[in-house]
Amino acid sequence: MNQHPKLDDPLVLFMPSGKRGRFPVGTPILDAARQLGVYVESVCGGRATCGRCQVEIQQGHFAKHKIVSAPDHVSPVGPKEARYAEKRTLPEGRRLSCSATIQGDLVVDVPQDTVINAQVVRKDADDKVIERRPALNLCYVEVEEPDMHKPLGDLDRLKAALMREWGYGRLEADAHLLPVVQSILREGEWAVTAAIHQDGEDDVPRIVALWPGLKNEAYGLACDIGSTTIAMHLVSLLSGRVAASAGASNPQIRFGEDLMSRVSYVMMNPEGRDAMTRAVREAVSKLVDKVCADGQAERADVLDAVFVANPIMHHLFLGIDPTELGGAPFALAVSGAVKARADDLALDLNPGARLYLLPCIAGHVGADAAAVTLSEGPHRQDEMMLIVDVGTNAEIVLGNRSRVVAASSPTGPAFEGAEISAGQRAAPGAIERVRIDPETLEPRFRVIGTEPWSHEPGFAEALGPTGVTGICGSGIIEVIAEMYLAGIISEDGVIDGALAARNPRVVAAGRTFSYVLSEAAPRLTITQNDVRAIQLAKAALYAGIRLLMEKQGVTAVDTIRFAGAFGSFIDPKYAMVLGLIPDCELDKVSAIGNAAGTGARMALLNRDYRREIEQTVRRIEKIETALESRFQEHFVNAMALPNKVDPFPRLAARVPLPARRTPATADAADGAPRRRSRAERAARRNRS
């Protein structure tokens, strides 16, 4: 530690961390950073050969910090630094912090290749800077040659050198290195780079990999195993740079579209668990191939990997039978964070590679929700933040600094287009945006992969040969919300058959009515059953949210974050019109895309985030919606659009909502199909 800084010692401020301190003239900037706990990478141990310790000296008068940072406040480029710049090129303005010394007050920028670009759709985009403190570090070291008079083994002298030069108090080594340590030391002519893994503060650091000479790159994986897609990033552990990203569909879809059907598959087929574990591991392995090829890395260069997944995927990936998760009390085999070796899961990476799986919050709220929580940080701020990850099983987290609660709601697959007559997955050809003219009841829509709207010139040409194939999740939300806003469906979700007289798009279908969204083949209609399916799904989601709000003692939330792919495409306005989410200022509702992947990257690059989420998950109160007596009541109220009892004043201020019917005029208050009005019956007669 910088024990005795003098008052007149130069003041050094590190950005973006904002950490500052006084250091005697001549202190290497790298040492100053270390003393302040600012993470600056260093592989070569200050030999000016790895180039990992680069910083940028800011110039100018920083009035806010009362610092004048001038070019001569840092030592001139010395011979070692000049040699590095000549051999390896040093970008303009960059200095090697192990060589550059402090000569006066300085503002030093530690370049962060690790800034997470918040999703474009995010309005309050606060780019996240992941300060690095990885569990794995590369340490170059020169080892004493063997000496007959000092019978210390090669590995022991390596350990001694690492402890001496890198300040490790204790050090262990993986057994797989024993057969190779001698040849590597000799090949490197007694200079080697060791990968040292230390996750927990109290863990004994371990040498997990060894290379001859200077090894100047190591990678990690951040992987989100979703029920439908697996997404993976290959990340440099030394710079934080994302070298490659790739995604693939989860091959388990063939065992069942949704999670519960996969659990049933395991229950019915004794071989099922192994087959599913194999399938997910193979898919992960293929993605490793892909990101390594794209990022020009070798599998053996991957030394650390963080995985997040929902509980069932988490269990299957680990080879655990998920049957217990199929019914109450939804017991997880393990809820805490899992640390393992890649070898344990038959994942072919570097033989010393380590894995880390974030903790699961509950039997239905997995490590993916924990990763989203880590990324968005409701527990780090004061506003009441609602995080919703809409899937077949919606995961909901609500809280702030003082308390966080979580639950899941069985929304079913309706939001993903299943159970909807014209529904399909989000893919080219699917309707994703819908508007309905309240006067004429005529729709216009936009299709994935096609720029113009359906009423604009060039639509048919842009559409291509596949044409309009169906409606995806966001399209279903919009069409039903627009039908409600246009008065085609009542607040109880009943398609108003009387309108058949006004517009031929409202058509009778048996005892109910449908709305024809697209005439061209295939004819796409929104049926009464479709509306019901969405009502049921959204009521389940809202009832879960409402329960959590009740637990928190709030009637409104300050911010809403939509996680997951579906959330990225859903328009918050329409989600609120449907009453999928509670009333909130619309500009406080944002999509956060693959926040689970962001959380995984955070845990990969900084082990402090692992501890943070482990502690946070322990604190999160889990609510089992199925056991809560009020769930049913909230569910029934939430069947109405947007809700039978909860007001939506902030939404109403932005969107003119249809007038609420009084109970006396509401003839289908329980959400059951109402009896047809005389006008409806007349309309049917006219058509037949």
**Min dist. Cβ of residue 136 to ligand FES (A):** 17
Answer yes or no whether residue 108 interacts with ligand FES by CB under 6 A: no
Q: CA 316 from chain center: how many Å?
A: 20
Closest to ligand FES by CB, 94 vs 314, is: 94
CB of 119 to ligand FES, least distance (A): 34
Instruction: Name 439's Cβ contacts closer than 8 Å, sequence gap at least 6.
Output: none
Please, which residue, 42 or 518, has the CB nearer to ligand FES?
A: 42
| CB closer to ligand FES, 41 vs 105 | 41
Residues binding ligand FES: what is the number (CB under 6 A)?
12
Closest by CA to 74, choosing from 51, 104, 53, 54, is 104
Q: Are strands 512-518 and 506-509 parallel, antiparallel or unpaired?
A: antiparallel
Which residues neighbour 430 within 8 Å (Cβ) at sequence distance 6 or greater? 417, 424, 447, 448, 468, 469, 470, 471, 472, 475
Q: Say how far apart CA 547 and CA 628 lie, in whole Å.
A: 8
For ligand FES, the binding residues in 631-650 under the rule CB under 6 A are: none
- Give residues with Cβ within 8 angstroms of 264, minimum separation 6: 256, 326
User: Closest distance between ligand FES and the C-beta of residue 214, in Å?
Assistant: 9
Could you give the dihedral angle defined by the CA atoms of residues 131, 340, 592 and 237, in that order, rounded to the nearest 10 degrees?
A: 30
* Shortest Å, Cβ 77 to ligand FES: 13
Q: Cβ distance 361 to 617 under 8 Å?
A: yes
CB 51, min distance to ligand FES, A: 5
Supply the minimum distance, in Å, between the C-beta of residue 320 and ligand FES: 42
Antiparallel, parallel or unpaired: β 621-622 and 403-409: parallel
Cβ nearer to ligand FES, comparing 96 with 576: 96
To ligand FES, the closest distance from the beta carbon of 112 in angstroms equals 17
Q: Which member of 13, 96, 130, 386 binds ligand FES (CB under 6 A)?
A: 96
Greatest Cα pair distance, the chain, in angstroms, is 109
48/641 with CB nearer ligand FES = 48
Rounded to 10°, the helix 607-619/367-376 angle is: 110
**Which residue's CB is nearer to ligand FES, number 51 or number 597?**
51
Q: Minimal distance in Å, beta carbon 215 to ligand FES? A: 12
Of residues 119 and 216, the one with the C-beta less far from ligand FES: 216
Query: 98 or 463, CB closer to ligand FES?
Result: 98
- The rounded distance, in Å, linking the Cα atoms of 351 and 301 is 10
User: Where does residue 402 rank: exposed (0-12), middle (13-18), buried (19+ CB within 10 A)?
Assistant: exposed
Closer CB to ligand FES, 238 or 243, in the complex: 238
Query: Is cis: bond before 378, omega within 30 of 0?
Result: no
Closest approach of ligand FES to the CB of residue 176, in Å: 27
Task: Provide the minimum distance between the beta carbon of 627 and ligand FES in the complex, in angstroms, as a whole number.
Answer: 56
Q: How far is the CB of 54 from ligand FES (least distance, A)?
A: 8
C-alpha gyration radius of the chain: 30
In sequence order, which residues have a C-beta less than 8 Å from that of residue 453 and are 6 or more positions away? 433, 444, 445, 446, 459
Closest approach, Cβ 29 to ligand FES, in A, equals 10
| DSSP run (H or E) holding 565 | helix 564-569
Site for ligand FES in 5-64 (CB under 6 A): 42-44, 46, 48-53
46 or 544: CB nearest ligand FES:
46
Query: In terms of C-beta density within 10 A (0-12 exposed, 13-18 middle, 19 or more buried), how is residue 473 classed?
Result: buried
CB of 89 to ligand FES, least distance (A): 13
Q: Token match 């030069």: residue?
A: 165
Give the position of tokens 């049933």.
264
Tally of helices (H runs) and strands (E runs) in the chain: 18, 31
Query: Minimum Å distance from CB 82 to ligand FES?
Result: 13
Of the pair 54, 590, the CB lying nearest ligand FES is at: 54
470 forms part of the interface with ligand FES (CB under 6 A) = no
Comparing every residue's Cβ against ligand FES, the nearest one is 98
> Shortest approach of ligand FES to residue 41 CB, angstroms?
8
Nearer residue to ligand FES within complex by CB, 98 or 613? 98
Structural contact between residues 605 and 130, judged by C-beta atoms closer than 8 angstroms: yes
In this structure, what token pair is assigned to residue 360?
Answer: 């699961």
Name which of 209, 204, 189, 194 is nearest 159 in CA terms.
194
- Identify which of residues 14 and 255 has a Cβ nearer to ligand FES in the complex: 14
Q: Which of 96, 2, 291 is nearest to 10 (CA)?
A: 2
Residues 6 or more apart whose CB falls under 8 angstroms from that of 633 comprise none
The verdict on 98 binding ligand FES (CB under 6 A) reads yes
Q: Which is nearer to ligand FES, 140 or 484 (CB)?
A: 140
| Nearer Cβ to ligand FES (98/325) | 98
Residue 555 burial (CB count, 10 A):
12
Q: Tell me how crowded residue 657 is: count the other CB atoms within 10 A of its CB.
A: 16
Give contact residues for ligand FES (rule: CB under 6 A): 42-44, 46, 48-53, 96, 98
